[in-house]
Amino acid sequence: MKITSRFTVAVHTLLAIYAFEGERKMTSEFIASSVNVNPVVIRRTLQSLKSAGLVEVRAGTGGAVSVKKPSEITLFDIYSAVDCVDGGLFNFHDSPNPDCPVGKSIHRLLDPRLASAQKAMESELKKATLADFLNELQN
């Protein structure tokens, strides 16, 4: 199962907000032109980021502004904010056959390994901050 593009759209959105802060209003239309998506997608993204306390959205054409330092926002924060996976990272097939030796054991075999893989991915996301990307963007 793929992580939806909501995650990368949200990262792009936040990077644009920080990169252009003070230079221009960060409207959904402007951000959408950078991400190359419909402004409605950006408005939904901004609402998720706002609910997570990562941005403030001003009514009308006031635009979005940052409320935290880039060094305080990790990729995991963004991943969590935009709910880009439904439940766990891995989807399990419905109703393995309990009468089959493989079917009755599949959860016992796979569940701990899949949980470990998800924790490893989330751990990696916690290591990178928006500040890291902004520094690379400026170079």
Dihedral in degrees, nearest 10, Cα atoms 24, 16, 55, 30: 50
**One digit per residue, pLDDT tens: the chain, 139 residues?**
567 899 999 999 999 999 999 899 999 999 999 999 999 999 999 999 999 999 999 877 779 999 999 999 999 999 999 987 766 788 788 899 999 999 999 999 999 999 999 999 999 999 999 999 999 998 7
pLDDT confidence of residue 94: 82
Cβ pair 39, 72 in contact under 8 A: no
pLDDT confidence of residue 66: 93
pLDDT confidence of residue 86: 65
Question: Can you list the domains of the chain with their CATH numbers?
Answer: 6-138 (1.10.10.10)
Model-level pTM? Answer: 0.87
Question: What CA–CA distance (Å, rounded) separates 6 from 45?
Answer: 7
